[in-house]
Structure 1
Amino acid sequence: MKLSVAIALVLLVAQYASSLAAAAAGGPRVIIVGAGMSGISAGKRLSDAGISDFVILEATDRIGGRIHKTNFAGVDVEMGANWVEGVTGKEMNPIWTIVNDELKLRTFNSDYDHLANNTYKQNGGLYEEAFVQKIIDRADEVEESGGKLSASLHASGSEDIMPWGPSAAVDMVIDYCKYDYEFAEPPRVTSLQNTKPLPTFNNFGDEVHFVADQRGYESVVYHVAGKYLRTDKSSGAIVDPRLKLNKVVRDITYLPRGVTVKTEDGQIYRADYVMLSVSLGVLQTDLIRFKPQLPAWKIVSIYQFDMSVYTKIFLKFPKRFWPEGPGTEFFLYASGRRGYYPVWQQFEKQYPGSNVLLVTVTDEESRRIEQQSDNQTRAEAVEVLRKMFPGKQVPDATDILVPRWWSNRFFKGTFSNWPIGVNRYEYDQIRAPVGRVYFTGEHTSEHYNGYVHGAYLAGIDSADILIKCAQKKICKYIVQGKYK
């Protein structure tokens, strides 16, 4: 018997038994673990389908997950997701509809067309525009060739590959800006087939819009939650008793007759189904223990995906010393060390007068920086700026904000990345239910993993799978073979 057929049969039997038990109990009760974008989206979908007997267990003291604002130097900035990516395309990005039409958040179109004018040498001064533009043009040609190659590869992912990337400083920072800055991991580990073409931009459009609203990007999550969870009319705070904060789930026991969830404070919750909306990084740790242990095929699928780390470091200065005006929002530092404080952004438009810079690091540099003090990071970043602007009086930064998503046991990273060789087969496995345990999150999004809209749509898709089983008794989830 082929592995894919065996998995489908196991899922069918387990799901059928689950549906019979739920029907006998008088209707489904659901526990949603995690109140990030996917968990909140799944809750709304369940509620719309008439399944309102649920509880949402959130480990932190807030909803939103990796969408989280904080006050830094007098302005509210985003520690996690910041952009609506994929705008003005042939399809409408559902997050853009909420941000732009329903909430009317303050956003700014991010323009990366002037990087050739704003690429700084490792030891100071700008590269000539024509020189950098040639490198950008060549990188665009390579990217286009990669897209053609991707279309010709076998769907199994067995021929999947991405180039290792250049080693010269300026070539490297352009390559970084194209790949690492988007996927938080270098090309050598990132799937070509799942990024060329990238569905987010191919379907929703090439524009990316930076959210800089003092209500925060998290207001999108609150907006969705407010459509089915009771809120206080004066403050807007969620007061629905079905949402329970500071509930750290540690044990999930799933049997044919139901599920039992135990939290760190000793509380026990019982239901017919559980919808698990935690990050891929958490699934790759032992924070949540499953009884019985998840089957081998599920564990393998969880570890076949990467949990990447994307760190936005904010620095406050007593005065501005960087260029301002049209075409200067983004600038690059071409270090001989890949990913060393490479992509900078100034906020002349978003936060006028704030004197705040943002520098983004990823992957190994993110992990290194999380393990050192903020003072060390501040010193490194200021040293880089002094090299970039040798003719300027670059003062010490007065404040610094370094998010530590990787070190946080409730996240263990920022978003998932599809590595080389992973295709639809592994995706089907990571999304597949195990008995009464359902899975959602941006890492289960078929086309949009790593994005806010991916998390939102994944919540809907996973809820639909549960609804089919609970209400229509359609519990079969088919995992197609790797080479089909």
Structure 2
Amino acid sequence: MLWLCSSVILLCHIHSGLSSPSVIIVGAGPAGVAAATKLLKNSINNITILEAEDRIGGRINSVKFGDGIVDLGAQFCHGEKGNIAYELAKNLNILEPGLRSLQNNVYYSNGSRLDPSLMEELKQEYSGYDKLADQDFNTTGKSLGELFIQKYNSTLLKKYEREEDKLKIVKEGLRFLEGYIVVHEGSFSWFDPSAECDYKQCEGNQALVWKGLGYNAVLQIMMNNYPDPAKKLPIDDKIHLGAKVKKINWNQSETVTVETSDNSYSADYLIFTPSIGVLKREKDSLFNPPLPSFKLQAIDATGFGGVMKIFLHFSTKWWKDEDRAFSFFWGEEDLSVVDFPDGPTKYGISWITQFRYILKVPDNPHVWVGWISGELVPEIERLPLKTLKEGCEHVLNKFLNGKYNVSGISQMLRSTWCTNENFGGTYSYTKTGFYKRGLSYQEKLAEALDGVEGRPRVLFAGEATNPVHYSTVHGAIETGYRAAENIIQLHKNKK
């Protein structure tokens, strides 16, 4: 009876505003926060935000570690022109250039530093990988990996075919560069993303960081909590944390109803913002009636893999002041040598070979961030922290102890995006074999579900629903604003 009373109160609360529509927002990530703040700024206050996690932010997760803030999720503001995240922050002096692309400080698995000039050539190959589809190649139906290998074979491999020592490194460089490319793409393999896609890069610096504040700063800006907390929008009491949605009943006469484990909520509109990973897992059970076929096709066409970040704190400084990055380049003969037996393997190759590189964390003097990519990421996320720490120390010692006296890791923090059921991965891409010019599966994902009266009832937002800026925070924010604006216009037209 108490449960029934509380549900009635919730329903009455949501429908109490007669002059303003009621809106449920599922997910309090950048898309959900963007939608909520735009609605609030347009006097639509009857909002309920349901967030499955115990925090807001979604795949933005800025936390205290070491002597500063680190980003377990989104870290870089990618570009300036046409980037809404940049526009929100540009006048606040909180963005600065960070490190992201392949650096020349590359070490081989025998402990030697590789020739910087040769590494610069690899870097140039990598830096143009996402423009391959614009060059004179047959890209139809091909994966990004296929196209890159084709181009690589015709350039670097051909150039060094008569220089045996360098040719060995160049051949091994394919696997090395794949590690970087899948970090950028968010896929487990470079054969997963399509060589053709509709993604558009915003002009400007692709690796802007947040001057020690973390990407959480952009959420605070949207909520008017930064730089002046006194101007914060009335959003906190509208957010329900730990509210995992179990069922969405959307084809009803006048409302959409959302069921969580302990409550039921009803409203005029719903904005659904969870990741494509959630949709892939729950597409057949979450929606009542089931999702239409065009939506299921779009979910299937959208790739969603994972990248893992590890933050390493060292009590003792072992690096030089000028060091900002170290990359780990495995020789072919070292890949299958079992010198670290603990943890998962793939094709006889240890997970430690997927520990790609480390970058110095700005404004955090004893902390480095490491990147792990590849097919074993979900299994690596599940490793005991002790095994993960020992494996990372093994790699650091194997590659760097010839030049550095690497100290032990005193503290470690890791991301778990793939194994967290509320995300299921990191960011989306277009799958190989699914790209069709003139047909955007991102736009299909974004299409609303209409209620029985023929009006949009459920709207979709989130990075995977952005036709040109998917996989980014600014793409997610754009879709949140888009969904909110659609509701604003629908309400105006209904009056």
Residue 79 of structure 2 contacts residue 203 of structure 2 at CA under 8 Å; is this kept in 1? yes
TM-score, normalised by the number of residues in structure 1: 0.80
Which amino acid is 1:163 matched to?
A: G
How far apart in 1 are the matches of 2:360 and 2:78?
Answer: 19
Residue 442 of structure 1 contacts residue 458 of structure 1 at CA under 8 Å; is this kept in 2? yes
Match 1:191 to one of 190, 194, 207 = 194
Q: How far off is 1:134 after superposition?
A: 3.1
Match 1:126 to one of 108, 113, 120 = 113
Which amino acid is 1:184 matched to?
A: G
Which amino acid is 1:199 matched to?
A: K
How far apart in 1 are the matches of 2:297 and 2:132?
Answer: 32
Aligned to 1:17: none
Match 2:294 to one of 276, 292, 297 = 297
Q: How far off is 1:303 after superposition?
A: 2.3
Q: 1:60 to 1:232 in 2, by over 3 A?
A: farther
Q: Which moved more, 1:379-388 or 1:289-298?
A: 289-298
Q: What secondary structure sits across from 2:135 in the alignment?
A: helix
Q: What secondary structure sits across from 1:284 in the alignment?
A: helix
Q: Can you give the 5+ residue segments of structure 2 that lack an aligned partner in the other structure?
A: 1-14, 150-169, 336-348, 451-456
Q: How far off is 1:175 after superposition?
A: 4.0
Q: What secondary structure sits across from 1:52 in the alignment?
A: coil
- After superposition, where does 1:43-122 map in structure 2 within 5 Å? 43-87=36-80, 91-102=81-92, 104-105=93-94, 107-110=96-99, 112=101, 115-116=103-104, 118-122=105-109
How far apart in 2 are the matches of 1:238 and 1:50?
Answer: 11
Aligned to 1:3: none
- What whole-Å deviation, never above 9, does each CA across 1:39-83 have from its counterpart, x for those lacking one? 111122333444332211122232211111122234221111111
Q: How far off is 1:107 after superposition?
A: 3.3
Aligned to 1:15: none
1:225 aligns with 2:223: yes
Q: What secondary structure sits across from 1:446 in the alignment?
A: coil
Which amino acid is 1:428 matched to?
A: E
1:263 aligns with 2:260: yes
How far apart in 1 are the matches of 2:129 and 2:304?
Answer: 26
TM-score, normalised by the number of residues in structure 2: 0.78
Aligned to 2:449: 434
Q: 1:304 to 1:142 in 2, by over 3 A?
A: closer
Aligned to 2:12: none
Aligned to 2:182: 180
Which amino acid is 1:268 matched to?
A: S
- After superposition, where does 1:269-308 map in structure 2 within 5 Å? 269-286=265-282, 289-308=286-305
Q: 1:42 to 1:364 in 2, by over 3 A?
A: same
Match 1:422 to one of 403, 413, 435 = 435
Q: What secondary structure sits across from 1:133 in the alignment?
A: helix
Residue 132 of structure 1 contacts residue 170 of structure 1 at CA under 8 Å; is this kept in 2? no
Q: Which moved more, 1:400-409 or 1:286-295?
A: 286-295
Residue 310 of structure 1 contacts residue 414 of structure 1 at CA under 8 Å; is this kept in 2? yes
Q: How far off is 1:411 after superposition?
A: 1.4
How far apart in 1 are the matches of 2:360 and 2:200?
Answer: 29
- What whole-Å deviation, never above 9, does each CA across 1:87-115 have from its counterpart, x for those lacking one? 3xxx242212333313x3263333647x2
Identity of aligned residues (%): 24
Q: How many residues align?
A: 426
- What whole-Å deviation, never above 9, does each CA across 1:374-402 have from its counterpart, x for those lacking one? 11111111111111113333232111111
- What whole-Å deviation, never above 9, does each CA across 1:8-30 have from its counterpart, x for those lacking one? xxxxxxxxxxxxxx9xx865211
How far apart in 1 are the matches of 2:303 and 2:174?
Answer: 25
Residue 163 of structure 1 contacts residue 188 of structure 1 at CA under 8 Å; is this kept in 2? yes
Which amino acid is 2:314 matched to?
A: F
How far apart in 2 are the matches of 1:206 and 1:49?
Answer: 33
Aligned to 2:382: 371
Residue 232 of structure 1 contacts residue 238 of structure 1 at CA under 8 Å; is this kept in 2? no
Aligned to 2:35: 42
Q: What secondary structure sits across from 2:25 in the alignment?
A: strand
- After superposition, where does 1:393-408 map in structure 2 within 5 Å? 393-408=405-420
Which amino acid is 1:162 matched to?
A: L
Q: What secondary structure sits across from 1:360 in the alignment?
A: strand
How far apart in 2 are the matches of 1:149 and 1:431?
Answer: 32
Q: 1:241 to 1:248 in 2, by over 3 A?
A: same
Q: 1:351 to 1:170 in 2, by over 3 A?
A: same
How far apart in 1 are the matches of 2:229 and 2:98?
Answer: 33
Match 2:370 to one of 346, 359, 363 = 359
- Across the aligned residues of Structure 1 and Structure 2, the Cα RMSD in angstroms comes to 3.0
Q: Which moved more, 1:337-346 or 1:376-385?
A: 337-346
